Chain A
Amino acid sequence: MTAPATAEDKRILVVDDEPNIVMSLEFLLRKAGFQVETARNGREALDALDREPPDLLLLDVMMPEFDGYAVCERIRQDQRWDRTRIVMLTARGRESERARGLALGADDYVTKPFSTRVLVEQVRTLLGVA
Chain B
Amino acid sequence: MIGQMLFVPLLALVYLACLFMIAAYGDRAARLGRRLGGPWIYTLSLGVYCTTASYYGGVGIAMEAGLAFLPIYLGPVIAMFLSPLVLYKMLRIAKAYHITSIADFLAARYGKRSKLGILVSCIALIGVAPAIAVQLKSIAVSINLLRSGSVHDAPALANDTALYVALGLAAFTILFGTRQVDATERHQGMVLAVAFESAVKLVVMLAVGGYVVFWLYAGPADLSARAEAAGLDRLLTFDGTGMSGTDWLLMALVGGLGFLFLPRQFQVAVVENQDPGHLTRASWALPAYLLLFLLFVLPIAVAGILQEVPVPDLTILQLPIDHGAYALAVAVFLGGLSAAAAMVVVETIALATIVSNDLVLPFLLRTGWLSVAASADPSRLVLLIRRLAIVLIVLGGYLFFRLVGAHLTFIEFGMLSLLAAAQFGPPILIGMYWRDANWIGAMIGLCLGFAVWCYTLLLPAFVTAGFGGEELLARGPFGIDLLSPHSLLGFRALTPTGHAIFWSLLLNVLGLVLGSLLGHATGLDRTQAEMFVDVWSRADATRMWRGEVRIRDLRDMLQRFIGPERTAELFAADARRLGVRLPLEGRADARLVQTAERQLARAVGSASARALIGSMVKSESIGSRNVMEILDETSQLIRYSRELERKSSELERATQELREANRRLREVDRMKDDFMATVSHELRTPLTSIRAFSEIVRDNPELTEEERENFLGVVTRETERLTRLINDILDLSKIESGRMQWRSAAVSLATAVRDAVDSVTPLLDERKVNLTLDLGRHDLAVQADPDRLEQVLINLISNACKFVAVGKGRIQVVIVETGDQVELRVEDDGPGVPPGEREAIFGKFIQLGDRLTAKPEGTGLGLSISRQIVEAFGGTLRVETSRLGGAAFVATLKAAKPAVDAADAAE
Q: CB within 8 Å of B: which residues of A?
A: 17-21, 23-25, 27-28, 31, 40-41, 43, 62, 64-65, 91-94, 111-117
Q: What CA separation (Å) do A116 and B687 show in the bound complex? A: 13
Q: Is the interface of B mostly helix, strand, loop or mixed?
A: helix
Contact B684 A113 (CB under 8 A): yes
Known: A19-B854, A40-B852, A64-B851. A28 touches B692 (CB 8 A): yes
Does residue B700 face the partner (Cβ distance < 8 Å to A)?
yes
| B566 interface residue per 8 A CB criterion | no
Residue-wise, chain B 658-677 has the 8 Å CB interface mask toward A (1 for contact) of 00000000000000000001
| A21 touches which of B681, B685, B695, B852 (Cβ 8 Å) | B685
Interface string of B833-857 (1 = CB under 8 A from A): 0000000000000000001111100
User: Is A113 touching B855 in the complex (CB atoms < 8 A)?
Assistant: no
Known A17-B855, A40-B853, A65-B852; contact A24-B680, beta-carbon cutoff 8 A: no
Q: How far is the CB of A68 from chain B (nearest CB, A)?
A: 12
| Alpha-carbon separation in the docked complex, A21 to B684 (Å) | 11
Q: List, in ascending order, chain B residues with CB within 8 A of A43's CB.
A: 852
Partner of A18, one of B685, B695, B851: B685
Contact A117 B677 (CB under 8 A): no
Assess the A113–B852 pair: CB atoms within 8 A: no
Set A18, A27, A31, A114: member contacting B855, Cβ < 8 A:
A18
State in angstroms the CA–CA spacing of A51 and B442 once bound together.
Answer: 124
**Chain B residues, Cβ within 8 Å of A65:** 851-852
Q: In the complex, which of the residues A18, A64, A93, A116 contacts B680, with contact meaning CB atoms closer than 8 Å? A: A93
A23 with B685, Cβ < 8 A, contacts A92-B680, A114-B691 known: no
Given contacts A20-B718, A91-B681, A91-B684, contact A116 B692 (CB under 8 A): yes
Q: B699 within 8 Å of A by Cβ?
A: yes
| Shortest Cβ distance from residue B807 to the other chain A in the assembled complex, whole angstroms | 22
Cβ contacts under 8 Å, B695 to chain A:
115-117
Q: Which chain B residues lie closer than 8 Å to A24 at the CB level?
A: 689, 692-693, 696, 711, 714
- Most chain A CB inside 10 Å of its own CB: which residue of B682, B688, B700: B688
Residue ID in chain B nearest A63 by CB atoms: B851
Are A113 and B853 interface neighbours, CB within 8 A? no
Q: Cβ of B690 < 8 Å from any Cβ of A?
A: yes
A18, A41, A93: which contacts B852 (Cβ < 8 A)?
A: A41
Known contacts A24-B693, A41-B852, A91-B681; is-contact A116 B714 (Cβ 8 Å): no
Select one of A28, A40, A114 contacting B688, CB under 8 A.
A114
Complex contacts, A113 vs chain B, CB 8 Å: 684, 687-688, 690-692
Q: In the complex, A28 Cα to B688 Cα: how many Å?
A: 14
Least Cβ–Cβ distance between B75 and chain A, in angstroms = 104
Knowing A18-B689, A18-B855, A40-B853 are in contact, say whether A112-B684 is a contact too (CB < 8 A): yes
B696 contacts across to A, CB distance below 8 A = 24, 27-28, 116
Cβ contacts B193-216/A at 8 Å (1 or 0 each): 000000000000000000000000
Contact between chains at A91 and B688 (CB < 8 Å): yes
> How far, in Å, is A61 (CB) from chain B's closest CB?
9
Asked if residues B685 and A93 are in contact (CB atoms below 8 Å), the reply is: no
**Complex CA distance for A20 and B699, rounded to whole angstroms:** 18
Q: Which residues of A contact B685 (CB under 8 A)?
A: 18, 21, 91, 112
**Could you tell me the distance between the alpha carbons of A87 and B853 in the complex, rounded to whole angstroms?**
23
On chain B, the residues within 8 Å of A117 by CB distance are 695, 699
In the complex, chain A residues whose CB is within 8 Å of the CB of B682? 91
Rounded to whole angstroms, the CA-CA distance of A20 and B717 in the bound complex is 10
- Indicate whether A20 sits within 8 Å of B852 (C-beta atoms), given known contacts A92-B681, A113-B692: no
Given contacts A20-B714, A91-B680, A91-B684, contact A116 B699 (CB under 8 A): yes
Given A31-B700, A40-B853, do A21 and B680 touch, yes or no (CB 8 Å)? Answer: no
Residues of A within 8 A of B680 (CB): 91-93
On B, residues with C-beta under 8 Å from A are 677, 680-682, 684-685, 687-693, 695-696, 699-700, 711, 714, 718, 851-855
Q: Could you list 28 A-B pairs, sorted by A, with CB under 8 Å?
A: A18-B685, A18-B688, A19-B854, A20-B689, A20-B714, A20-B718, A24-B689, A24-B692, A24-B696, A24-B711, A31-B700, A40-B853, A43-B852, A64-B851, A64-B852, A65-B852, A91-B682, A91-B684, A92-B684, A94-B677, A112-B685, A113-B684, A113-B688, A113-B692, A114-B691, A115-B691, A116-B695, A117-B695
CA distance A122 to B867 in the complex (A): 46
Report how far A25 CA is from B688 CA in the complex, Å.
11
Nearest-CB distance from A4 to chain B (Å)? 23
List, in ascending order, chain B residues with CB within 8 A of A115's CB. Answer: 691, 695
Question: B294 → chain A, closest Cβ, in Å?
Answer: 105
Whether B692 and A25, one on each chain, are in contact in the complex, defined by CB atoms closer than 8 angstroms, is yes
Query: How far does the alpha carbon of A79 sit from the alpha carbon of B185 in the complex, in Å?
Result: 98
Complex Cα distance A65/B849, Å?
A: 13
Q: Shortest CB–CB separation between residue A41 and chain B, in angstroms? A: 6
A18: B residues at CB distance < 8 A: 685, 688-689, 855
Which residues on the B side are within 8 Å of A20 (C-beta)?
689, 693, 714, 718
Which residues of chain B have C-beta atoms less than 8 A from A41's C-beta? 851-852
CB-CB under 8 A from B854, the residues of chain A are 19
Q: Which residue of B lies closest to A43 (CB)?
A: B852
Q: Is the CB of A62 within 8 A of B853?
A: no
- Report the Cα distance A111→B688, complex, angstroms: 9
Known: A18-B855, A24-B711, A113-B687. 8 other contacts (CB 8 A): A19-B854, A20-B718, A21-B688, A92-B684, A113-B688, A115-B691, A116-B695, A116-B699
Closest CB in chain A relative to B540 CB, distance in Å: 86
State the CA gap A115–B691 with chains docked (Å): 8
Q: Given the complex of chains A and B, what is the CA–CA distance between A17 and B855 in angstroms?
A: 8
A96 to B456, CA, bound (A): 108
Chain B residue nearest to A93 (CB atoms) is: B680
**Contact in complex: A62, B684 (CB < 8 Å):** no
Q: Are A112 and B687 in contact (CB under 8 A)?
A: yes
* B contact residues around A93 at 8 Å (CB): 680, 684
How many Å lie between the Cα of A27 and that of B699 in the bound state?
12
Q: Within 8 Å CB of A111, what residues of B?
A: 684
With a cutoff of 8 Å between Cβ atoms, the chain A residues found around residue B711 in the complex are 24
Give the chain B neighbours of A92 by CB distance below 8 A.
677, 680-681, 684
A27 vs B689: C-alpha distance when bound (angstroms): 12
A44 CB, nearest partner CB in chain B, Å? 8
Contacts of B690 in A (CB 8 A): 113
Provide the residues of chain B in CB contact with A19, threshold 8 Å.
854
The distance from the CB of A92 to the nearest CB of chain B, in whole angstroms, is 5
Q: Which residue of A lies closest to B849 (CB)?
A: A64
> What residues of B have a CB within 8 angstroms of the CB of A114 in the complex?
688, 691-692
CB closest residue in chain A, given B715: A20
Question: What is the distance, in angstroms, from B759's C-beta to the closest C-beta of chain A?
Answer: 26
Bound-state CA distance A117–B691 (Å) is 11
B855 partner residues in chain A, CB cutoff 8 A: 17-18
Question: In the assembly, what is the distance between CA of A54 and CA of B699, in Å?
Answer: 27
Taking CB as reference atom, which chain B residue is nearest A25?
B692
* Chain B residue contacts of A23, Cβ below 8 A: 714
The interface residues of chain A lying within 8 Å CB-to-CB of B691 are 113-116
| Residue among A20, A41, A94 facing the most chain B CB atoms (10 A cut-off) | A20
**Which 10 interchain pairs have the tightest Cβ spacing?**
A24-B692, A64-B851, A91-B684, A20-B689, A112-B688, A113-B688, A91-B681, A113-B691, A116-B695, A113-B687
Contacts of A64 in B (CB 8 A): 851-852
Please tell me if the beta carbons of A62 and B681 are within 8 angstroms of each other in the complex. Answer: yes
**Distance (Å) between the CB of B846 and the closest chain A CB?**
12
Give the residue among B681, B684, B692, B853 with the most A Cβ atoms within 10 A: B692
CA distance A111 to B25 in the complex (A): 84
